[in-house]
């Protein structure tokens, strides 16, 4: 990330506007900051002029710079998307003579399907924690709830006691764009949530904390800590180590569709604003069926 001394003040104003107008998460704002400040630094280094003087040719050369580094189209397009928002902001403020990105459509992405897990693999991962310990019980509950609801990692670790309704088997999460949604969960997740709550009560584990999933020290568990724990359980279960906690979200969606759920319902559960984002899971389901036929049909 750029040092504070190298950050462009125009980018700073743009980031403030994003926070105030769109209510984006801290991680999203950080990504915008990294992308936009990196471009400003590159422009000063290569062209010796500031962002307000950027041209279409500069954008083309910036793309070539990333292509030479063998960055994926997805990564490059994300960086360009950040710059598009920046230049749109500068245009609205009437600081630009012309917007160098106004007609740029981006690089075409090859469709990469997200990794998923079979039901057998999910069960192996869920069974891996040692639930005789607080950490194991907490991790089992987190994995159960993530698979039961399809929540994002950030939504899971930010859960508070007040977000959980045990009577109706519902959780309330704050998703992208600060959009709230209610998600139901099943009896398995409910049972583990109750066990986890009882363990905390009996052992007086930071009952004054509003955070639901905590460390031994009573602090909210971090994304990094949960990822570290998942890697331990993947190894214990003999599963691929390139699986991430987010893979459970993909498994949640894929398994729902494989078992007859409709796309609109899955969209609502995942918190996708656009149905096309959810539709990628139908490709996973179709691919799985195709692979099954090839593997098991006598003339496959």
The pLDDT of residue 6: 57
pLDDT confidence band for 2 (50 / 70 / 90)? very low
Reply yes or no on whether 85 is catalytic: no
Task: Count Cα neighbours of 135 within 13 Å in the Cβ-side half-sphere.
Answer: 12
| Catalytic status, residue 249 | yes
Nearest to 128 by CA among 221, 243, 252, 253: 243
Alpha helices in 69-118 (DSSP H): 73-92
Q: Which of 84, 152, 229, 255 is catalytic?
A: 152
Kind and range of the H or E run holding 197: helix 187-202
Q: Which of the residues 78, 176, 181, 288 is marked catalytic? A: 176
Q: Judge whether 4-92 and 119-296 match in fold.
A: no
- Choosing from 200, 249, 250, 255, which is the catalytic residue? 249
Tell me, yes or no, if 281 is annotated catalytic: yes
Say whether pLDDT at 81 is over 70: yes
Domain boundaries, the chain: 4-92, 119-296
User: Distances from the Cα of 234 to the Cαs of 122, 125, 193, 244, in angstroms?
Assistant: 10, 6, 22, 9
200-236: pLDDT as tens digits: 999 888 777 889 999 988 899 998 999 999 999 999 9
Of these residues, 85, 229, 255, 272, which one is catalytic?
272
Q: Are 196 and 206 in contact (CB under 8 A)?
A: no
Q: Let me know: does 76 contact 67? Beta carbons within 8 Å.
A: yes
Q: Is the pLDDT of residue 157 over 90?
A: yes
Catalytic residue among 7, 115, 231, 246: 246
CA atoms within 13 A of residue 249's CA, in its CB half-sphere: 17
Which CATH class for the 119-296 domain? mainly alpha
Q: What is the mean pLDDT of residues 120-135?
A: 94
Which DSSP category does 7 fall into?
-
- Max avg pLDDT among 60-64, 119-123, 264-268, 278-282: 119-123
pLDDT per residue as tens digits for the range 88-124: 999 999 998 889 888 777 666 555 555 678 889 999 9
CA-CA-CA-CA torsion sign (43, 46, 50, 55):
negative
pLDDT value at position 216?
86
229 is catalytic: no
* Domain boundaries 4-92, CATH class: mainly alpha
Active site residue 147: no
Q: According to the model, what pLDDT value does residue 272 have? A: 78
Report the mean per-residue pLDDT for the chain: 84
pLDDT of residue 178: 77
Contact 51, 7 (CB under 8 A): no
């Amino acid at each position: 990330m750029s040092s504070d001394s190298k950050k462009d003040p125009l980018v700073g104003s743009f980031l403030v506007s994003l926070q105030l107008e769109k209510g984006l998460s801290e991680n999203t704002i950080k990504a915008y900051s990294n992308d936009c400040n990196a471009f400003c630094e590159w422009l000063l280094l290569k062209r010796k002029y500031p962002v307000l003087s950027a041209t279409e040719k500069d954008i083309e050369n910036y793309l070539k710079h990333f292509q030479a580094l063998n960055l994926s189209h997805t990564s490059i397009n994300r960086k360009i998307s950040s710059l598009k928002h920046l230049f749109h902001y500068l245009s609205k403020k009437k600081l630009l003579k012309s917007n160098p990105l106004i007609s740029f459509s981006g690089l075409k992405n090859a469709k990469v399907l997200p990794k998923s897990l079979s039901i057998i693999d999910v069960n192996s991962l869920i069974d891996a924690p040692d639930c005789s310990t607080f950490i194991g019980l907490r991790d089992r509950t987190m994995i159960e709830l993530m698979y039961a609801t399809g929540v994002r990692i950030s939504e899971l670790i930010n859960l508070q006691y007040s977000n959980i309704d045990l009577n109706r088997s519902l959780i309330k999460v704050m998703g992208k764009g600060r959009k709230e949604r209610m998600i139901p969960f099943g009896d398995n997740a409910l049972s583990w949530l109750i066990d986890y709550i009882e363990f905390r009560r009996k052992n007086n584990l930071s009952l004054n904390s509003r955070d639901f999933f905590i460390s031994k020290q009573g602090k909210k568990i971090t994304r990094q800590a949960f990822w570290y724990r998942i890697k331990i359980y993947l190894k214990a279960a003999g599963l691929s180590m390139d699986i991430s906690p987010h893979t459970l979200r993909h498994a949640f969606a894929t398994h729902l569709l494989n078992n007859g759920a409709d796309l609109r319902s899955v969209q609502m559960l995942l918190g996708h604003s656009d149905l096309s984002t959810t539709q990628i899971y139908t490709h996973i389901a179709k691919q799985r069926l195709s692979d099954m036929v090839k593997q098991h049909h006598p003339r496959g």
